[in-house]
Amino acid sequence: MVVTVTMLVLLSLLSLGVLSLSLTEVRSTAQSNAQFEARANARLALMMALGQLQKTLGPDQRVSAPSSLLDNNPETVKIDGVRNPQWVRVWKTQQDDGTPFIQRAQEDGGLRDLRVSNQWDAEDDTYAILVSGQEILTGNKTEEDDLADMEMTTLVGAGTLGEDAPEELLVHAPLIEITDPILDQSPNDTSGDEASSTKPSGAYAWWVGDLNTKANIATPDSFEGLAGSVQQLRRVQLAQDASLAAMKDAEDIGNQTRSRLLSNKQLEISQNKDTEDIGHYFHDFTTRSQSVFANAREGGLMKDLTAYLLGSGVISGDDESEGLAQLGVSDSDNLIGPRNGEEARLLPDGEEADRLEQVSPTFALLRNWANRSSDHRLGNISVAAQGPETRPAEPDIRTYGGQNRLPAKYFQKSRSDFSPVLVEGSTYYNISSYETGLPSPREWGLRLHLYPRVALWNPYNFDLEVPPSMIALQVNGGKKVEVSFTPAATILIPQRFGPPKQIEISHTRYTMSWGNLKNQNGSMQRYRRGSLYFRLEGVTIEPGETVVFAPRGNTQYSETFFDRNLLSPNLPPSPTRSFFLDERSDGDPLFEVESPVFPEPQGVFYDNHVVAEPSEWREYFEPQPLGDVQAAGYTQADDYYMYWKPLNGSSGSNITLDSFSSLPHGQFVSCAYQYGDEDELPVVWSESFPVPVPNSSGTGAIGEVPDRRTRDGFRLRWFNEHPSNRNGGGSLAGTPHLESSLIGNWNVRSSYSFRSPFENVSDVAPHYFSGYTRDLFDGDVSWEGMSPSQRSGKNVGDPFNPPVVSTPRRVLFDVPRSETGIQSLGAFQHVKFSEFTWHPTFAFGNSLADPRMPLDRTEPRRDSSLNSRQGGWNKDSIGWSNDGRSNSNGGGVSNQENWAHHARGLLEENVEDNTVQFDLSFELNHSLWDRYFLSTGSRREKNAFMSDSVANPLPNGRLRVFDQQAARPERDILDFHRAASVLTSDGGFNVNSTSETAWEAVLLSTINTQYGGQKVAFPRILDAPLGEYDGRSAEASEAWAGTRVLDRDEVKRLATEIVREVKTRGPFLSMSDFVNRKLTIGEEGLKGCLQAAIDRAGINEEFELSFPLDNGRSLPSFNHSDNIEEPTRIEQTYKPATTAWGALGFLTQADLLQSLGHNFFVRSDSFIIRGYGESRGKDGKVASTAWCEAVVARTPAPVNPDDSGLNPQVIKGAPDFGRRFEIQSFRWLSKEEV
């Protein structure tokens, strides 16, 4: 039976006056009897409960949870400090003035939670408790003690729960007496005091139970019996049901059984169990529940993002709606902060996001990503690499060595891309001698041999077709080398008078300088020591594979046409294959002699030559001088970066500096402490032993392996950095400053990586910062240690380890596939939302604290000059030197501002007005989880669904048509604004649930599906290359290319820990409140609820053991020699517990949400009501009793609709009853059933 109860809202307003309702019926019925009176009072109880429900939970901006959420000690099974744990509580999701709890103040750190500063308390700030007695209490605040001290009657007892049910499962409700002063007045009473002469003629009690905090085991798996691989994939892509297997000694049930489950009594029959077995699960399972797609944070129905994703990019507003509900969406709207100016005007803090307006990605990025599915089918596919969206560079900005005419678009990001990740760009070098054929003293020449290596990683679950590409390496091109002779060389020194003087010399010293490029093309004119350019052959990189490129042959390095410097992915590095230089094409010396005698005699020492065949060489360093090291010539490198650019659409021939500069941006990685301001300090050889000088006469090839100390370049941080780097951190030596989670706290797919003001910076070269690093000399980075393996004819390495340690496939992402598409918000975790390295790799759905930001905010606080002056990129945050290295040399800025000036230049001077560092995850979650849902399915699929929803379920098989008789449901289901008005979610689950069994049943959704048996999975990728990973060795290949499968014990532990977190953090006042970390100092501020539960359950323990990250202590602060005010701004204790966070086999919060989030809600819409009534005789004794039970559900239909018919009309000063409740079933209960 379905009965509309719109008129019942009046009961909630009549309060005590409504108590006469049953008495009127009694007096007017001549044949009334005690049983009739008792039933009338029970019906009255039901009506009172409905009235309270409509009043307190009819509005959208409410959440509910059982009182057990207030458990004083969530660590134990026992519920402490709560007298009635099964009473349902209600909270408002906004402040009393109607403004949100989470508000933005851009000068005070962005978003902050006013519940913290206002000391909001879940118990004290309860809006209502849904139990009898609520309606007779005065005041706005409900105190449980006021109700609990009343006389109680049992509404859920042994008849429901079984005889041995524990006390915390029982439900008692206050007994409210009903008096009739007319019938009960004594004839002998002449006082005239009506109140003193009345006696109770009856009583009632009621209790509202929450059905959405239970697991609905009657919801069918809509794809269970459907044939076809895609239909079966739906069963693991989205949670389609909840599993009865969470019940002790129970098996999961199929659709045939589910369809017969209309009550718990039928569950007893289906499982051949009695009340004793089933009754204890009364608060855990239900067979009736649904949820409305409503925005609990801001009110109004959610908008259907599916309609936008499948549309043209513009959804018009709904003029008939009011407030935020009237807004549409377009490709140009922002994903962070107000989506556009119109929304900014509607929000109380809408003008506080100006600094994020430009840096925010746009909705077009989501639509672009979703539409990628049309190009890619399931299975093994091959995808052409595509770089980031580019734009013309600002004409007055000169950065990136002048080589960035087409930079990546890092503001207003609107397009996804598939690029390989630049893992390494480095070079070893060697020096040989060769016979020149010239007379002495020039018969021996010096030759430089370069051995570049470049590594590209494909983190995707498909073959990535990488076209030919170019890379620039800017390394130290100003080295000092000493060439020695054994035995000593004998030379003749001409004398002005007399015969030449014969002397013996043991060595000669040179300044070795390569890469000086002079280009005469106007704006691109540059002079940079150490610039090297190479062409990479095209290659198809398999899923998760890292390919290493090395010289194709032994050939002269071309300083003019860089494409001739060819690197191959197929030939392994060999000392016999190098790029060699004997002299420079610009006429400057490659080896500039520094004479061993003074003054330098003419005709004895020549640049690029040596007086005799040398035996050994080494780099040498003079002691660092006092004072100005720049003026003393002690500094060496001009810059440190690698710059990868694809050759898409280019012939790739005759690539010059000018044409390289015009190639589109691929990935730029800077490891320059001084941002390319030249004059970097050299890394001094830790050992002085020399290196043999081979003879390269003839072919120019040599066979000697380069010394490890000659390696220069850049690479991704490793899980475990080598000892030389760990111990060579200056003031940070011996601390965990190099231990970082590259996937958790950095963006491995970033287009821009360079030092920011929020870095941990050591005080000795190479200074160590960012997700990339340079190296001190160590055996791990020796020629042998970095030698790649061979697989399928390719050189393969590893992004996070030396290649000799392992070369696994490390798969992280997939692309939407045409058969499965984007069916949940959680699937957007695969999207790259930022081009900057300092944002997380998996931004959406996860909520790890950004260790650069304060825990209780999302942006830097701008009340300090360190963060506000010049956008936070200033001399105090970046630093400046006292020894001449930061001298601007007439560059238009002061010496103290010079490095900061160069830093701001990398961002084209945009940081003054834009905040580029903020908690991206928190912002994205805050913007999307409450406002939008996905109706799933194409127009064709929805038409089929409307004709037969059982035979043609939507991809989200839980969706049900709310009102098939509505005016135009077949049109509304396709509408961005109206879809939520005709759809509900069968078995919607309230995440404020404190039932471990219910959570376990929800987590067991995928049991007995694709993974078979008792295994459960939440696959980030539907067809992981290596199948399953069981959580054992984190160093196994499956840990990085397989889906994590959980056994039953792991699922149970996870459910237990989720409930612990819910009790600790709840109630959640919005879905984003549940997904996001708390904006508070402490454990709850470090990660979201689900991630905290995953970690506490030990699901990823093997990763923490194999790849530990020491986050137990902060890094020490110290007085940095280069005047950096805070050299350790990344807070070590905010990082996750493993450097391998985010591996494919590492279960994340976003993985859970991708599978489960479509059916998560933060409030309940379905309830069970139990009412009790009793009648009493004139002697005051109970004459008869009655119990009734109803199941009611909130619907999308408003009680008092606005002009659109979608949302409640807001009338100032008038009560808001929200959306209409309907009675779905009603029955009388016997005493034995209670």
The predicted pLDDT at position 861 comes to: 95
Cis peptide upstream of residue 766 (ω within 30 degrees of 0)? yes
Q: What is the mean pLDDT of residues 497-502?
A: 84
DSSP 443-474: SEEEEEEEEEEEEEE--BSSEEEEPPEEEEEE
Structure confidence at residue 275 as a pLDDT band (50, 70, 90): low
How confident is the model over 719-776, as pLDDT tens digits? 999 999 999 999 999 999 999 999 999 999 999 999 999 999 999 989 988 899 999 9
d(CA 835, CA 670): 14
User: Of 796, 830, 859, which marks where a domain is finished?
Assistant: 796
The predicted pLDDT at position 15 comes to: 38
Find out whether 1228 and 1186 touch, Cβ atoms under 8 Å. Answer: yes
How confident is the model over 860-889, as pLDDT tens digits? 999 999 999 999 999 999 999 998 889 888
Which helix (H) or strand (E) element contains residue 752? Answer: strand 752-753
Extended strands (E) in 900-1042? 932-933, 959-961, 983-986, 989-990, 1016-1017, 1028-1029
In a domain, 809, yes or no: no
The predicted pLDDT at position 274 comes to: 66
In a domain, 894, yes or no: no
How confident is the model over 1122-1150, as pLDDT tens digits? 999 999 999 999 999 999 999 999 999 99
For residue 611, count other CB atoms closer than 10 A to its CB: 23
The predicted pLDDT at position 1028 comes to: 94
The predicted pLDDT at position 16 comes to: 35
How confident is the model over 925-934, as pLDDT tens digits? 999 999 999 9
In a domain, 951, yes or no: no
User: Six-digit token pair at 441?
Assistant: 């003293």
Cis peptide upstream of residue 441 (ω within 30 degrees of 0)? yes
- Domain span holding position 50: 3-209+1177-1233
| pLDDT of residue 514 exceeding 60 | yes
In a domain, 364, yes or no: no
Lowest-pLDDT range of 259-268, 413-422, 669-678: 259-268
The predicted pLDDT at position 1074 comes to: 98
Q: What is the mean pLDDT of residues 396-406?
A: 74
| pLDDT of residue 1 exceeding 50 | no
Residues paired with 1138 in a beta bridge: 1108
Q: What three-state secondary structure class fits 555? A: strand
Q: What is the mean pLDDT of residues 528-536?
A: 90
Residue 253 sits at φ, ψ, to 5 deg, of: -115, 155
Structure confidence at residue 218 as a pLDDT band (50, 70, 90): very high
d(CA 369, CA 825): 12
Percent of the chain with pLDDT over 70: 91
| pLDDT of residue 18 exceeding 60 | no
How confident is the model over 1104-1127, as pLDDT tens digits? 999 999 999 999 999 999 999 999
| pLDDT of residue 25 exceeding 70 | no
The half-sphere exposure of 24 on its side-chain side, counting CA atoms within 13 A, is 6
| pLDDT of residue 473 exceeding 80 | yes
Residue whose entry in the numeric block shows the structure tokens 């879905």: 1071
How confident is the model over 581-636, as pLDDT tens digits? 999 988 889 999 986 554 455 667 889 999 999 999 999 888 888 888 877 777 78
Residue 5's nearest CA partner among 40, 42, 53 is 53
The predicted pLDDT at position 257 comes to: 84
d(CA 743, CA 842): 7
Find out whether 199 and 1178 touch, Cβ atoms under 8 Å. Answer: yes
The whole-model pTM stands at: 0.94
The predicted pLDDT at position 1000 comes to: 97
In a domain, 579, yes or no: yes
Structure confidence at residue 398 as a pLDDT band (50, 70, 90): low
How confident is the model over 311-348, as pLDDT tens digits? 999 999 999 999 999 999 999 999 999 999 999 999 99
| pLDDT of residue 196 exceeding 80 | no
Angle at 363 between CA 359 and CA 365, to 5 degrees: 80
* Greater model confidence, 429 or 236: 429
Structure confidence at residue 21 as a pLDDT band (50, 70, 90): very low
How confident is the model over 1031-1081, as pLDDT tens digits? 999 999 999 999 999 999 999 999 999 999 999 999 999 999 999 999 999
Q: At what angle do helices 34-57 and 20-27 cross, to 10 degrees?
A: 150
The predicted pLDDT at position 19 comes to: 39
In a domain, 172, yes or no: yes
The half-sphere exposure of 1158 on its side-chain side, counting CA atoms within 13 A, is 30
Find out whether 755 and 774 touch, Cβ atoms under 8 Å. Answer: no
User: Six-digit token pair at 1179?
Assistant: 């002697």
849: buried, middle or exposed (CB in 10 Å: 19+, 13-18, 0-12)?
Answer: buried
Report how many domains make up the chain: 2
Q: What is the mean pLDDT of residues 461-475?
A: 96
Q: What is the mean pLDDT of residues 561-569?
A: 97
What sign has the CA pseudo-torsion 912, 916, 922, 926?
positive
Residue 154 sits at φ, ψ, to 5 deg, of: -90, 125
d(CA 22, CA 44): 7
Q: What is the mean pLDDT of the chain?
A: 90
* Greater model confidence, 1061 or 496: 1061
In a domain, 464, yes or no: yes
User: Six-digit token pair at 216?
Assistant: 């609905």
d(CA 932, CA 929): 6
| pLDDT of residue 185 exceeding 80 | no
Question: CB neighbours of 497 closer than 8 A, spacing ≥ 6?
Answer: none
Cis peptide upstream of residue 487 (ω within 30 degrees of 0)? yes
* Greater model confidence, 18 or 254: 254
| pLDDT of residue 20 exceeding 70 | no
The length of the chain is: 1234
The predicted pLDDT at position 184 comes to: 47
Instruction: Calculate the CA 998 to chain-centre distance.
Output: 26
SS3 content of the chain, % helix, strand, coil (to 5): 25, 20, 55
How confident is the model over 200-211, as pLDDT tens digits? 889 999 999 999
The predicted pLDDT at position 1210 comes to: 84
Residue 748's nearest CA partner among 457, 412, 1145 is 457
Q: Both ends of the chain: CA-CA distance in Å?
A: 22
User: Of 761, 796, 831, which marks where a domain is finished?
Assistant: 796
d(CA 96, CA 1220): 23
The predicted pLDDT at position 6 comes to: 39
Distances (CA, A) of 640 to 401, 426, 618, 643, 1174: 10, 11, 22, 10, 85
Lowest-pLDDT range of 79-93, 373-387, 504-518, 1182-1196: 504-518
Q: What three-state secondary structure class fits 567? A: strand
583: buried, middle or exposed (CB in 10 Å: 19+, 13-18, 0-12)?
Answer: middle
Structure confidence at residue 492 as a pLDDT band (50, 70, 90): confident
| pLDDT of residue 2 exceeding 50 | no
In a domain, 1070, yes or no: no
